[in-house]
Amino acid sequence: MTIDLKNLTIKKARMALDEKEFSAVDLAQAYLGKIKEKNKELNAYLEVYDDVLEQAKLADEKIGRGESSPLLGIPLAIKDVILVKNKKVSSASKILENYVASYDATVIAKLKEQGAVFLGRTNMDEFALGSSTENSAFGVTRNPYDLSRVAGGTSGGSTVAVASDMALGALGSDTGGSVRLPAAFCGVVGLKPTYGRVSRYGLIAAASSFDCVGQIAKNIEDAEIIFNAISGHDILDSTSVNYEADSKLSSKKELVIGVPWNLINQEGIEPNVKENFQKIVKSFESSGYKIKDISLPNCIALYYIINFAEVSSNLSRFDGVRYGLHKDGKNLLEDYLLTKGQGFGKEARRRILLGTFVLSAGYYDAYYGKAQRTRDALRKEFKKLFSEIDLILTPTSPIPAWKIGEKSDPLSMYLADIFTVTANIVGIPAISLPSGFMEVAGKKVPLGIQFMAPHGREEFLFEVGKKLEMIEGSN
Protein backbone atom coordinates (compact mmCIF):
# COMPACT_ATOMS: atom_id res chain seq x y z
CA MET A 1 0.00 0.00 0.00
CA THR A 2 1.27 3.47 -0.92
CA ILE A 3 0.64 6.24 1.62
CA ASP A 4 1.19 9.87 0.62
CA LEU A 5 3.57 10.76 3.46
CA LYS A 6 4.45 14.15 1.98
CA ASN A 7 0.91 15.51 2.44
CA LEU A 8 0.02 13.46 5.50
CA THR A 9 -0.65 15.21 8.81
CA ILE A 10 -1.46 13.84 12.26
CA LYS A 11 -5.11 14.84 11.86
CA LYS A 12 -5.38 13.19 8.42
CA ALA A 13 -3.63 10.05 9.69
CA ARG A 14 -5.96 9.87 12.69
CA MET A 15 -9.02 9.92 10.41
CA ALA A 16 -7.52 7.36 8.02
CA LEU A 17 -6.59 4.99 10.85
CA ASP A 18 -10.02 5.23 12.47
CA GLU A 19 -11.76 4.69 9.11
CA LYS A 20 -9.45 1.69 8.37
CA GLU A 21 -8.07 3.25 5.16
CA PHE A 22 -4.73 1.89 6.30
CA SER A 23 -3.46 0.27 9.50
CA ALA A 24 -0.93 1.51 12.05
CA VAL A 25 1.39 -1.26 10.80
CA ASP A 26 1.00 0.01 7.21
CA LEU A 27 1.82 3.52 8.39
CA ALA A 28 4.82 2.40 10.45
CA GLN A 29 6.17 0.36 7.52
CA ALA A 30 5.84 3.38 5.24
CA TYR A 31 7.96 5.48 7.60
CA LEU A 32 10.49 2.70 8.12
CA GLY A 33 10.84 2.50 4.34
CA LYS A 34 11.39 6.25 4.10
CA ILE A 35 14.01 6.08 6.89
CA LYS A 36 15.83 3.29 5.06
CA GLU A 37 15.78 5.39 1.89
CA LYS A 38 16.88 8.74 3.34
CA ASN A 39 18.57 8.43 6.70
CA LYS A 40 22.00 7.38 5.46
CA GLU A 41 22.58 10.75 3.78
CA LEU A 42 20.67 12.91 6.29
CA ASN A 43 21.79 11.22 9.56
CA ALA A 44 18.62 12.21 11.39
CA TYR A 45 18.25 8.95 13.35
CA LEU A 46 20.95 7.52 15.58
CA GLU A 47 18.88 4.40 16.12
CA VAL A 48 15.66 3.01 14.69
CA TYR A 49 13.92 0.92 17.35
CA ASP A 50 13.57 -2.79 16.66
CA ASP A 51 10.04 -2.97 18.09
CA VAL A 52 8.35 -0.37 15.85
CA LEU A 53 6.05 -2.88 14.18
CA GLU A 54 5.18 -4.47 17.54
CA GLN A 55 4.15 -1.05 18.83
CA ALA A 56 2.06 -0.51 15.68
CA LYS A 57 0.34 -3.92 16.09
CA LEU A 58 -0.69 -2.98 19.61
CA ALA A 59 -2.11 0.28 18.27
CA ASP A 60 -4.09 -1.63 15.63
CA GLU A 61 -5.51 -3.89 18.31
CA LYS A 62 -6.73 -0.85 20.26
CA ILE A 63 -8.23 0.69 17.13
CA GLY A 64 -9.91 -2.64 16.40
CA ARG A 65 -11.55 -2.50 19.84
CA GLY A 66 -12.95 0.92 19.01
CA GLU A 67 -10.46 2.87 21.08
CA SER A 68 -9.20 6.21 19.82
CA SER A 69 -6.95 9.04 20.96
CA PRO A 70 -5.28 11.83 18.96
CA LEU A 71 -1.90 10.05 18.75
CA LEU A 72 -2.94 6.38 18.71
CA GLY A 73 -0.80 4.66 16.05
CA ILE A 74 0.95 7.92 15.08
CA PRO A 75 4.71 7.43 14.36
CA LEU A 76 6.91 9.91 16.23
CA ALA A 77 10.66 10.54 16.50
CA ILE A 78 12.27 11.17 19.91
CA LYS A 79 15.33 13.34 20.48
CA ASP A 80 18.24 11.42 22.00
CA VAL A 81 17.98 13.35 25.27
CA ILE A 82 14.57 12.07 26.42
CA LEU A 83 14.46 8.79 28.38
CA VAL A 84 12.52 5.85 26.95
CA LYS A 85 12.63 2.87 29.30
CA ASN A 86 14.92 0.04 28.20
CA LYS A 87 16.15 2.07 25.21
CA LYS A 88 19.55 3.66 24.71
CA VAL A 89 19.79 7.40 25.34
CA SER A 90 23.19 9.00 24.77
CA SER A 91 22.57 12.73 24.42
CA ALA A 92 24.71 12.29 21.28
CA SER A 93 27.79 11.96 23.50
CA LYS A 94 30.49 9.29 23.74
CA ILE A 95 30.32 9.57 27.52
CA LEU A 96 26.77 8.10 27.45
CA GLU A 97 27.08 6.08 24.26
CA ASN A 98 25.67 2.81 25.61
CA TYR A 99 23.54 4.09 28.49
CA VAL A 100 20.11 2.42 28.70
CA ALA A 101 17.27 4.35 30.34
CA SER A 102 15.81 2.74 33.47
CA TYR A 103 12.51 4.65 33.34
CA ASP A 104 10.25 6.64 31.02
CA ALA A 105 10.28 10.42 30.91
CA THR A 106 6.85 11.80 31.82
CA VAL A 107 6.27 12.96 28.24
CA ILE A 108 7.05 9.44 27.00
CA ALA A 109 4.68 7.90 29.55
CA LYS A 110 1.93 10.23 28.35
CA LEU A 111 2.54 9.35 24.72
CA LYS A 112 2.55 5.64 25.55
CA GLU A 113 -0.85 6.07 27.22
CA GLN A 114 -2.11 7.55 23.95
CA GLY A 115 -0.63 4.66 21.95
CA ALA A 116 1.90 6.63 19.92
CA VAL A 117 4.50 4.63 17.98
CA PHE A 118 8.13 5.56 18.65
CA LEU A 119 10.27 5.17 15.54
CA GLY A 120 13.67 5.83 17.10
CA ARG A 121 16.03 8.31 18.72
CA THR A 122 17.31 11.26 16.75
CA ASN A 123 20.63 13.04 16.40
CA MET A 124 21.43 16.31 18.21
CA ASP A 125 24.25 18.55 19.36
CA GLU A 126 25.99 16.79 22.25
CA PHE A 127 24.09 17.45 25.50
CA ALA A 128 22.02 20.02 23.58
CA LEU A 129 25.00 22.39 23.25
CA GLY A 130 25.08 24.12 19.88
CA SER A 131 22.95 25.58 17.11
CA SER A 132 23.62 23.28 14.15
CA THR A 133 23.77 19.57 15.14
CA GLU A 134 27.42 19.65 14.07
CA ASN A 135 28.51 18.93 17.66
CA SER A 136 27.13 15.39 17.77
CA ALA A 137 29.64 12.65 18.58
CA PHE A 138 27.94 10.61 15.84
CA GLY A 139 28.20 12.90 12.82
CA VAL A 140 26.40 15.96 11.51
CA THR A 141 22.73 15.95 10.50
CA ARG A 142 22.22 17.45 7.04
CA ASN A 143 19.53 19.85 5.87
CA PRO A 144 17.06 18.07 3.54
CA TYR A 145 16.79 21.19 1.34
CA ASP A 146 20.54 21.37 0.78
CA LEU A 147 22.79 18.55 1.97
CA SER A 148 25.76 20.90 2.19
CA ARG A 149 24.01 22.97 4.88
CA VAL A 150 23.28 22.44 8.57
CA ALA A 151 19.88 21.39 9.85
CA GLY A 152 20.05 23.75 12.82
CA GLY A 153 20.27 22.62 16.40
CA THR A 154 20.23 21.24 18.83
CA SER A 155 17.14 19.27 17.78
CA GLY A 156 18.35 18.84 14.21
CA GLY A 157 17.66 15.12 13.97
CA SER A 158 14.04 15.38 15.14
CA THR A 159 13.40 18.32 12.83
CA VAL A 160 14.92 16.66 9.76
CA ALA A 161 12.93 13.49 10.50
CA VAL A 162 9.69 15.50 10.23
CA ALA A 163 10.83 17.72 7.34
CA SER A 164 11.93 14.75 5.21
CA ASP A 165 8.87 12.57 5.90
CA MET A 166 10.74 10.14 8.18
CA ALA A 167 8.31 10.86 11.06
CA LEU A 168 4.86 12.41 11.37
CA GLY A 169 5.88 14.47 14.40
CA ALA A 170 8.70 14.62 16.91
CA LEU A 171 9.84 15.64 20.35
CA GLY A 172 12.89 17.83 20.79
CA SER A 173 14.24 19.98 23.57
CA ASP A 174 14.70 23.74 23.57
CA THR A 175 17.32 25.44 25.76
CA GLY A 176 17.88 28.64 23.78
CA GLY A 177 16.18 27.97 20.46
CA SER A 178 17.01 24.30 19.96
CA VAL A 179 13.57 23.43 18.57
CA ARG A 180 12.81 26.74 16.86
CA LEU A 181 16.09 27.28 14.99
CA PRO A 182 16.12 23.91 13.17
CA ALA A 183 12.38 24.28 12.52
CA ALA A 184 13.13 27.55 10.71
CA PHE A 185 16.05 26.04 8.78
CA CYS A 186 13.98 23.02 7.67
CA GLY A 187 10.59 24.61 6.99
CA VAL A 188 8.48 23.07 9.77
CA VAL A 189 6.78 24.21 13.00
CA GLY A 190 8.76 24.20 16.26
CA LEU A 191 7.15 25.01 19.62
CA LYS A 192 8.91 25.88 22.87
CA PRO A 193 6.26 25.78 25.63
CA THR A 194 6.09 27.90 28.75
CA TYR A 195 8.78 26.79 31.20
CA GLY A 196 7.10 24.33 33.58
CA ARG A 197 4.07 23.59 31.40
CA VAL A 198 5.56 20.38 29.97
CA SER A 199 7.34 18.09 32.43
CA ARG A 200 11.14 17.93 32.34
CA TYR A 201 11.21 14.66 34.31
CA GLY A 202 13.33 12.26 32.25
CA LEU A 203 14.94 14.99 30.13
CA ILE A 204 18.75 14.91 30.43
CA ALA A 205 19.64 18.35 31.77
CA ALA A 206 21.90 20.84 30.03
CA ALA A 207 20.85 24.19 31.51
CA SER A 208 18.09 23.34 33.96
CA SER A 209 16.44 26.76 34.21
CA PHE A 210 16.15 27.00 30.40
CA ASP A 211 15.46 23.44 29.18
CA CYS A 212 11.99 22.61 27.83
CA VAL A 213 10.60 19.61 25.95
CA GLY A 214 9.40 21.00 22.62
CA GLN A 215 7.25 19.82 19.75
CA ILE A 216 8.09 19.61 16.03
CA ALA A 217 5.38 19.14 13.42
CA LYS A 218 4.41 19.84 9.82
CA ASN A 219 1.74 22.38 10.70
CA ILE A 220 0.37 24.33 13.65
CA GLU A 221 -2.57 21.97 14.22
CA ASP A 222 -0.25 18.96 14.60
CA ALA A 223 2.00 20.89 17.00
CA GLU A 224 -1.06 21.70 19.10
CA ILE A 225 -2.12 18.04 19.16
CA ILE A 226 1.28 16.92 20.47
CA PHE A 227 1.42 19.79 22.98
CA ASN A 228 -2.00 18.92 24.38
CA ALA A 229 -0.94 15.27 24.74
CA ILE A 230 2.20 15.95 26.80
CA SER A 231 1.49 19.17 28.71
CA GLY A 232 0.19 19.40 32.28
CA HIS A 233 1.38 19.51 35.85
CA ASP A 234 3.69 16.71 37.00
CA ILE A 235 4.47 16.00 40.66
CA LEU A 236 7.73 14.32 39.57
CA ASP A 237 9.06 17.64 38.26
CA SER A 238 9.67 20.32 40.89
CA THR A 239 9.68 23.02 38.18
CA SER A 240 6.27 21.97 36.83
CA VAL A 241 3.53 24.61 36.97
CA ASN A 242 -0.23 24.19 36.55
CA TYR A 243 -1.50 26.70 34.00
CA GLU A 244 -4.79 24.93 33.29
CA ALA A 245 -6.93 27.39 35.29
CA ASP A 246 -5.57 30.34 33.31
CA SER A 247 -5.48 29.01 29.78
CA LYS A 248 -8.51 30.70 28.18
CA LEU A 249 -7.94 33.07 25.30
CA SER A 250 -8.24 36.77 25.85
CA SER A 251 -11.65 38.16 24.95
CA LYS A 252 -9.97 40.99 23.04
CA LYS A 253 -11.08 41.20 19.43
CA GLU A 254 -7.83 42.76 18.26
CA LEU A 255 -4.52 41.16 19.21
CA VAL A 256 -1.58 43.54 19.41
CA ILE A 257 1.76 42.37 17.99
CA GLY A 258 4.95 44.00 19.20
CA VAL A 259 7.91 44.19 16.80
CA PRO A 260 11.40 44.99 18.21
CA TRP A 261 12.77 46.91 15.24
CA ASN A 262 15.83 47.90 17.29
CA LEU A 263 17.03 44.27 17.07
CA ILE A 264 15.88 43.62 13.52
CA ASN A 265 17.47 46.74 12.01
CA GLN A 266 20.92 46.11 13.46
CA GLU A 267 23.89 44.79 11.50
CA GLY A 268 24.22 41.04 10.99
CA ILE A 269 20.65 40.41 9.83
CA GLU A 270 20.60 38.90 6.33
CA PRO A 271 18.81 41.39 3.98
CA ASN A 272 16.57 38.66 2.54
CA VAL A 273 15.57 37.60 6.05
CA LYS A 274 14.66 41.20 6.87
CA GLU A 275 12.70 41.63 3.62
CA ASN A 276 10.78 38.41 4.23
CA PHE A 277 10.01 39.51 7.78
CA GLN A 278 8.74 42.92 6.66
CA LYS A 279 6.31 41.20 4.27
CA ILE A 280 4.98 39.06 7.12
CA VAL A 281 4.47 42.14 9.33
CA LYS A 282 2.51 43.86 6.54
CA SER A 283 0.40 40.71 6.02
CA PHE A 284 -0.63 40.61 9.67
CA GLU A 285 -1.33 44.33 9.66
CA SER A 286 -3.57 43.87 6.59
CA SER A 287 -5.35 41.02 8.40
CA GLY A 288 -6.50 43.25 11.25
CA TYR A 289 -3.70 42.89 13.79
CA LYS A 290 -2.36 46.04 15.41
CA ILE A 291 1.44 46.34 15.07
CA LYS A 292 3.33 48.22 17.77
CA ASP A 293 6.99 49.21 17.76
CA ILE A 294 8.76 47.92 20.88
CA SER A 295 12.35 47.72 22.08
CA LEU A 296 14.09 44.58 23.35
CA PRO A 297 17.66 44.15 24.62
CA ASN A 298 20.24 41.86 23.03
CA CYS A 299 20.30 39.01 25.59
CA ILE A 300 23.04 36.81 24.10
CA ALA A 301 25.68 37.59 26.78
CA LEU A 302 23.17 37.20 29.62
CA TYR A 303 21.96 33.86 28.25
CA TYR A 304 25.38 32.32 27.72
CA ILE A 305 26.75 33.27 31.14
CA ILE A 306 23.88 31.41 32.82
CA ASN A 307 24.02 28.61 30.24
CA PHE A 308 27.74 28.00 30.79
CA ALA A 309 27.29 27.97 34.57
CA GLU A 310 24.41 25.48 34.53
CA VAL A 311 26.07 23.25 31.93
CA SER A 312 29.22 23.11 34.07
CA SER A 313 27.16 22.09 37.09
CA ASN A 314 24.97 19.54 35.27
CA LEU A 315 27.74 17.80 33.34
CA SER A 316 29.85 17.30 36.47
CA ARG A 317 27.74 14.22 37.24
CA PHE A 318 29.21 12.36 34.25
CA ASP A 319 32.31 11.06 36.00
CA GLY A 320 32.40 7.48 34.70
CA VAL A 321 31.80 6.05 38.18
CA ARG A 322 28.08 5.24 38.27
CA TYR A 323 27.19 4.95 34.58
CA GLY A 324 28.43 5.77 31.11
CA LEU A 325 31.95 5.70 29.70
CA HIS A 326 34.76 4.78 32.12
CA LYS A 327 38.50 4.86 31.44
CA ASP A 328 41.01 3.39 33.89
CA GLY A 329 43.93 5.56 34.94
CA LYS A 330 46.66 5.17 37.54
CA ASN A 331 44.50 6.89 40.18
CA LEU A 332 41.08 8.50 40.62
CA LEU A 333 42.15 11.84 39.18
CA GLU A 334 43.53 10.20 36.06
CA ASP A 335 40.30 8.18 35.77
CA TYR A 336 38.38 11.47 35.65
CA LEU A 337 40.78 13.11 33.21
CA LEU A 338 40.75 10.19 30.78
CA THR A 339 37.00 9.60 31.03
CA LYS A 340 35.95 13.22 30.60
CA GLY A 341 38.68 14.03 28.11
CA GLN A 342 37.62 11.23 25.77
CA GLY A 343 33.92 11.28 26.60
CA PHE A 344 33.08 14.96 26.10
CA GLY A 345 33.31 16.74 22.75
CA LYS A 346 34.92 20.12 22.12
CA GLU A 347 31.83 22.28 22.71
CA ALA A 348 30.90 20.48 25.93
CA ARG A 349 34.44 20.93 27.26
CA ARG A 350 34.41 24.60 26.26
CA ARG A 351 31.20 25.29 28.18
CA ILE A 352 32.32 23.30 31.22
CA LEU A 353 35.49 25.40 31.41
CA LEU A 354 33.73 28.72 30.89
CA GLY A 355 30.96 27.78 33.33
CA THR A 356 33.47 26.78 35.99
CA PHE A 357 35.18 30.15 35.48
CA VAL A 358 32.01 32.26 35.92
CA LEU A 359 31.12 30.28 39.05
CA SER A 360 34.59 30.49 40.59
CA ALA A 361 35.47 32.51 43.68
CA GLY A 362 36.14 36.12 42.79
CA TYR A 363 34.12 35.97 39.56
CA TYR A 364 30.75 34.59 40.76
CA ASP A 365 29.25 37.99 41.66
CA ALA A 366 30.80 39.75 38.68
CA TYR A 367 29.32 37.32 36.16
CA TYR A 368 26.78 34.76 37.37
CA GLY A 369 25.32 36.85 40.20
CA LYS A 370 24.99 39.91 37.96
CA ALA A 371 23.41 37.80 35.20
CA GLN A 372 20.75 36.46 37.58
CA ARG A 373 19.89 39.97 38.79
CA THR A 374 19.60 41.10 35.19
CA ARG A 375 17.39 38.11 34.43
CA ASP A 376 15.01 39.11 37.24
CA ALA A 377 14.85 42.66 35.85
CA LEU A 378 14.14 41.28 32.36
CA ARG A 379 11.24 39.17 33.68
CA LYS A 380 9.67 42.30 35.19
CA GLU A 381 10.20 44.19 31.94
CA PHE A 382 8.40 41.46 29.99
CA LYS A 383 5.52 41.37 32.43
CA LYS A 384 5.03 45.10 31.89
CA LEU A 385 5.44 44.70 28.12
CA PHE A 386 2.75 42.01 27.93
CA SER A 387 0.30 44.31 29.70
CA GLU A 388 0.48 46.46 26.56
CA ILE A 389 0.79 43.84 23.80
CA ASP A 390 -0.27 40.22 23.24
CA LEU A 391 2.52 38.80 21.07
CA ILE A 392 6.09 39.59 20.04
CA LEU A 393 7.14 38.92 16.44
CA THR A 394 10.73 38.47 15.20
CA PRO A 395 12.57 36.41 12.61
CA THR A 396 13.55 33.05 14.12
CA SER A 397 17.14 33.42 12.93
CA PRO A 398 19.09 36.40 11.58
CA ILE A 399 20.45 34.19 8.78
CA PRO A 400 19.36 31.09 6.82
CA ALA A 401 21.01 27.70 7.34
CA TRP A 402 24.77 28.01 6.85
CA LYS A 403 27.19 25.63 5.16
CA ILE A 404 28.44 22.71 7.27
CA GLY A 405 31.75 23.75 8.82
CA GLU A 406 31.28 27.42 7.89
CA LYS A 407 30.95 28.67 11.48
CA SER A 408 34.01 27.14 13.12
CA ASP A 409 34.22 30.19 15.37
CA PRO A 410 31.80 29.43 18.25
CA LEU A 411 30.99 33.12 18.81
CA SER A 412 29.55 33.50 15.32
CA MET A 413 27.33 30.47 15.96
CA TYR A 414 26.17 31.81 19.33
CA LEU A 415 25.00 35.00 17.59
CA ALA A 416 22.53 32.95 15.52
CA ASP A 417 20.49 32.63 18.74
CA ILE A 418 19.89 36.36 19.12
CA PHE A 419 16.11 36.14 18.61
CA THR A 420 15.44 32.82 20.36
CA VAL A 421 17.28 32.92 23.72
CA THR A 422 15.08 35.61 25.30
CA ALA A 423 12.05 33.32 25.55
CA ASN A 424 14.10 30.80 27.54
CA ILE A 425 15.55 33.46 29.83
CA VAL A 426 12.11 34.69 30.91
CA GLY A 427 10.32 31.33 30.54
CA ILE A 428 7.64 32.35 28.04
CA PRO A 429 6.29 30.20 25.18
CA ALA A 430 7.58 30.76 21.64
CA ILE A 431 7.04 29.19 18.26
CA SER A 432 8.82 29.16 14.90
CA LEU A 433 6.59 29.07 11.85
CA PRO A 434 7.60 28.49 8.20
CA SER A 435 7.88 31.78 6.31
CA GLY A 436 8.73 31.01 2.73
CA PHE A 437 12.14 30.53 1.16
CA MET A 438 15.17 32.43 -0.06
CA GLU A 439 17.54 31.39 -2.82
CA VAL A 440 21.14 30.72 -1.82
CA ALA A 441 23.69 29.44 -4.35
CA GLY A 442 20.95 28.24 -6.68
CA LYS A 443 18.95 26.38 -4.02
CA LYS A 444 15.86 27.44 -2.11
CA VAL A 445 16.29 27.22 1.67
CA PRO A 446 13.51 27.80 4.22
CA LEU A 447 13.05 30.83 6.47
CA GLY A 448 11.09 31.10 9.70
CA ILE A 449 9.43 33.71 11.87
CA GLN A 450 9.01 33.54 15.63
CA PHE A 451 6.15 34.55 17.89
CA MET A 452 6.51 34.89 21.67
CA ALA A 453 3.50 35.02 24.02
CA PRO A 454 2.91 35.64 27.75
CA HIS A 455 3.37 32.83 30.30
CA GLY A 456 0.86 30.02 29.78
CA ARG A 457 -0.57 31.53 26.60
CA GLU A 458 0.33 28.88 24.04
CA GLU A 459 -3.22 29.40 22.77
CA PHE A 460 -2.17 32.79 21.39
CA LEU A 461 0.59 31.06 19.44
CA PHE A 462 -1.75 28.44 18.01
CA GLU A 463 -4.26 31.11 16.98
CA VAL A 464 -1.71 33.32 15.24
CA GLY A 465 -0.04 30.28 13.67
CA LYS A 466 -3.29 29.18 12.08
CA LYS A 467 -3.79 32.73 10.83
CA LEU A 468 -0.34 32.72 9.21
CA GLU A 469 -1.07 29.41 7.49
CA MET A 470 -4.23 30.99 6.06
CA ILE A 471 -2.28 34.04 4.89
CA GLU A 472 0.48 31.92 3.32
CA GLY A 473 -2.10 29.62 1.72
CA SER A 474 -3.89 32.53 0.09
CA ASN A 475 -0.71 33.98 -1.44
Domain ranges of the chain: 7-251+298-376+405-475
Tell me, yes or no, if 38 is annotated catalytic: no
What was the pLDDT predicted at 253? 61
Pairing of strands 212-217, 169-174: antiparallel
**Per-residue model confidence as pLDDT tens digits over 27-81:** 999 999 999 999 999 999 999 999 999 999 999 999 999 999 999 999 999 999 9
Please, which pLDDT band fits residue 313 given cuts at 50, 70 and 90? Answer: very high
Please, which pLDDT band fits residue 475 given cuts at 50, 70 and 90? Answer: low
Instruction: Yes or no: say if 182 and 159 are a contact pair by the CB < 8 Å rule.
Output: yes
Q: Say yes or no to pLDDT of 338 above 90.
A: no
What was the pLDDT predicted at 337? 84
Instruction: Yes or no: say if 213 and 206 are a contact pair by the CB < 8 Å rule.
Output: no
Start-to-end C-alpha separation, the chain: 34
Q: Say yes or no to pLDDT of 412 above 90.
A: no
Catalytic residue among 34, 38, 79, 407: 79
What was the pLDDT predicted at 382? 97
Give the containing element (helix H, strand E) for 117: strand 117-122
CATH class label, 7-251+298-376+405-475? alpha beta
Phi, psi of 195 (to 5 degrees): -60, 125
Please, which pLDDT band fits residue 247 given cuts at 50, 70 and 90? Answer: very low
What was the pLDDT predicted at 196? 97
Q: Say yes or no to pLDDT of 83 above 50.
A: yes
- Average pLDDT on 438-446 reads 93
- Average pLDDT on 374-382 reads 97
Which percentage of the chain shows pLDDT scores above 90?
Answer: 87
Pairing of strands 256-259, 142-143: unpaired
Task: Quote the mean pLDDT of the chain.
Answer: 95
Which of 204, 173, 198, 200 is CA-nearest to residue 102?
A: 204
**Per-residue model confidence as pLDDT tens digits over 155-201:** 999 999 999 999 999 999 999 999 999 999 999 999 999 999 999 99
Q: Say yes or no to pLDDT of 245 above 70.
A: no
Q: Say yes or no to pLDDT of 283 above 50.
A: yes
Instruction: Yes or no: say if 35 and 166 are a contact pair by the CB < 8 Å rule.
Output: yes
Catalytic residue among 93, 178, 199, 240: 178
Q: Helix axis angle, 346-358 relative to 300-315, nearest 10°? A: 100
Please, which pLDDT band fits residue 474 given cuts at 50, 70 and 90? Answer: low
Q: Say yes or no to pLDDT of 249 above 50.
A: no
User: Which ranges constitute the DSSP H helices of 8-145?
Assistant: 10-18, 24-42, 52-64, 106-114
What was the pLDDT predicted at 252? 55
DSSP result, 21-59? SS-HHHHHHHHHHHHHHHHHHH--EEEE-TTHHHHHHHH
Cα separation, 55 vs 69, in Å, equals 15
Q: Say yes or no to pLDDT of 141 above 70.
A: yes
What was the pLDDT predicted at 333? 85
What was the pLDDT predicted at 296? 97
C-alpha R_g of the chain: 21
Tell me, yes or no, if 110 is annotated catalytic: no
Q: The pTM is what? A: 0.96
Identify which has the larger pLDDT, 332 or 218: 218
How large is the greatest C-alpha to C-alpha distance in the chain, in angstroms? 71
Cα separation, 324 vs 332, in Å, equals 16
